[in-house]
């Protein structure tokens, strides 16, 4: 396959993974390469709280058509900060285990969520780039990507993007909105006027409706995440301790930030990037699009217009027309 012409952005794929994830990561890479990167050759950064082993490096670098980089996360980005009461955090995990809340008893999952919320974009290897595209193990890409999403983001002044949105489990974030409101009070200068508050709240900001963009897929601006506004937001949340005293996910954290710190037209929905991460599928709405992009997803599985998706809200608040054929997929 020929290399696509045109300029390249200063951009990279980024995957957080354990050595044991290697074959699931390989499946994801294969699809990203086949559908897009074999013609664009963007770099790929891998991050891990432990050193990557030779097998991981060999398998991944042989599949990727761009340069690969492997980084170790510093301990202070993957551990309990000093202000966290470890006994209190432990009691929470035990309680969540009894309530059978998914990952409720896991320490490593909490480090992961905090890392993805506040640290991945300031890892040394990431400082070289302006844009990132997050890829997780075992995801699927069902359609060709005929243009450069990084360049699209740049040329259209987009800072954050998504393909799937849904409601968060309330039990994992009981006080996340309280901390958000505190941030809004303390830092009104960071809240932009033409924001997406309507995506996040049905009562003008009093309560959170739990809508969030699913962050296992993201194409976004690293410079935005490295801004004072985002940094102050993360710092407020981190001080309040909910990554450990509850189980705050990076998806609602990124989403609330995108919703309040970005103008609504800086957040983009990629209808034409078809994607699966267990258990949800985004299969492009519109038969013509699916044929043109040689998609292999079943349109019946598209989650976008189903009741548990928040994507309709995004369309409504941005006054966007839903793609043709959406009614057939509700």
18 binds ligand GDP (CB under 6 A): yes
- Clarify whether 292 is annotated catalytic: no
What angle in degrees, to the nearest 10, is found between the helix axes of 176-186 and 250-261? 30
Q: What is the DSSP letter of 164?
A: -
Nearer to Mn ion, 130 or 136 (CB): 136
**Segment lying near Mn ion (by CB under 5 A), choices 107-115, 209-217, 220-228, 246-254:** 209-217
| Kind and range of the H or E run holding 123 | none
Contact flags string 28-67 toward ligand GDP, x per CB under 6 A: --------------------xx------------------
Q: Are strands 267-269 and 160-162 parallel, antiparallel or unpaired?
A: parallel
Q: Which of 11, 14, 17, 164 binds ligand GDP (CB under 6 A)?
A: 17
Nearer to Mn ion, 9 or 219 (CB): 219
Contact flags string 123-152 toward ligand GDP, x per CB under 6 A: -------------xx---------------
The residue annotated as part of the active site, out of 33, 116, 168, 218, is: 218
Which burial class, exposed, middle or buried, applies to 5 when counting CB atoms under 10 A from its CB (0-12, 13-18, 19+)? exposed
Closest CB 103 distance from Mn ion, rounded Å: 11
Residue 289 contact among ligand GDP, Mn ion, none, beta carbon within 5 to 8 Å by kind: none
Closest CB 141 distance from Mn ion, rounded Å: 15
Q: Give the CA count within 13 Å in the CB-facing half-sphere of 136.
A: 13
- What's the Cα-to-Cα distance from 306 to each of 157, 167, 280, 293, 302, rounded to whole Å? 29, 12, 11, 23, 8
Cα–Cα distance for residue pair 283/193, rounded to 1 Å: 33
Nearer to ligand GDP, 25 or 293 (CB): 25
Q: Which of 10, 20, 108, 330 binds ligand GDP (CB under 6 A)?
A: 108
Which residue's structure tokens are 């954050």?
A: 160
Q: Give Rg (Cα) of the chain.
A: 19
Cα–Cα distance for residue pair 255/297, rounded to 1 Å: 26
21 binds ligand GDP (CB under 6 A): yes
Q: Which of 49, 130, 136, 140 binds Mn ion (CB under 5 A)?
A: 136
Nearer to Mn ion, 180 or 216 (CB): 216
**Segment lying near ligand GDP (by CB under 6 A), choices 12-20, 181-189, 201-209, 304-312:** 12-20
Tell me if 72 sits within 8 A of 48, measured CB to CB.
Answer: yes
Q: What percent helix, strand, coil does the chain show, rounded to 5?
A: 45, 15, 40
Comparing CA positions, the residue from 254, 256, 292 lying closest to residue 272 is: 292
Residues of span 179-208 touching ligand GDP by CB under 6 A: none
The footprint of ligand GDP (CB under 6 A) covers 15-18, 21, 48-49, 108, 112, 136-137, 216
> Which residues participate in catalysis according to the annotation?
218
Which residues are near Mn ion by CB under 5 A? 136, 216
């Amino acid at each position: 396959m020929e290399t696509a012409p045109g300029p390249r952005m200063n951009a990279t794929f980024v995957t957080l993974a354990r050595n044991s994830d290697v074959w699931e990561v390989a499946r994801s890479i294969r699809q990203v390469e086949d559908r897009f990167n074999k013609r664009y050759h963007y770099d790929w950064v891998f991050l891990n709280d432990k050193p990557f082993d030779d097998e991981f490096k060999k398998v991944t670098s042989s599949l990727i058509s761009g340069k690969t980089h492997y980084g170790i996360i510093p301990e202070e980005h993957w551990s309990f900060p000093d202000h966290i009461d470890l006994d209190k955090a432990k009691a929470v995990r035990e309680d969540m285990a009894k309530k059978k809340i998914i990952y409720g008893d896991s320490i490593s999952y909490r480090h992961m969520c905090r890392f993805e919320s506040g640290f991945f974009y300031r890892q040394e290897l990431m400082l070289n780039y302006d844009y990132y595209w997050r890829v997780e193990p075992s995801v699927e890409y069902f359609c060709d990507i005929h243009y450069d999403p990084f360049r699209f983001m740049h040329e259209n002044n987009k800072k954050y993007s998504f393909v799937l949105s849904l409601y968060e489990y309330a039990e994992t974030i009981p006080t996340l909105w309280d901390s958000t409101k505190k941030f809004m009070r303390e830092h009104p200068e960071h809240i932009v006027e033409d924001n997406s508050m309507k995506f996040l709240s049905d009562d003008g900001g009093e309560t959170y409706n739990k809508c969030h963009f699913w962050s296992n897929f993201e194409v976004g601006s690293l410079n935005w995440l490295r801004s004072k506004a985002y940094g102050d937001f993360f710092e407020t949340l981190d001080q309040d301790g909910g990554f450990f005293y509850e189980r705050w996910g990076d998806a609602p954290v990124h989403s609330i930030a995108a919703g309040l710190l970005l103008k609504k037209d800086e957040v983009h929905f990629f209808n034409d990037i078809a994607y699966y991460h267990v258990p949800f599928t985004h299969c492009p709405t519109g038969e013509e699009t699916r044929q043109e992009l040689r998609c292999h997803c079943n349109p019946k599985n598209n989650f976008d217009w189903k009741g548990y998706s928040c994507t309709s809200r995004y369309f409504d608040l941005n006054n966007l027309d839903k793609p043709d054929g959406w009614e057939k997929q509700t």
